Amino acid sequence: MVGLFLLAAALFNPPLLGLFGTEGRILGVPSLYVWVLGGWAAVIALAALASARR
């Protein structure tokens, strides 16, 4: 779980978010939104997997 926390902290770090704050779009959605919501969903899924194994 500590590793998952560190992964989430790295994913949502402002310098990394700045890479996706451009004008690009993915399927009509701004790339920053896709990055934040996709990363958030991945962290939740990994937390569910980690807690199910205990």
pTM of the predicted structure, to 2 decimals: 0.77
Asked, for residue 53, whether it belongs to a domain, the answer is yes
Reduced to 3 states (helix: H, G, I; strand: E, B; else coil), residue 42 is helix
Asked, for residue 13, whether it belongs to a domain, the answer is no
Q: Domain count for the chain, please give it.
A: 1
Q: Which domain holds residue 41?
A: 1-8+27-54
Asked, for residue 49, whether it belongs to a domain, the answer is yes
Report pLDDT digits (tens) over 1-54: 898 999 899 888 888 888 877 788 989 998 888 989 999 999 999 999 999 876
Yes or no: say if 31 and 16 are a contact pair by the CB < 8 Å rule: no
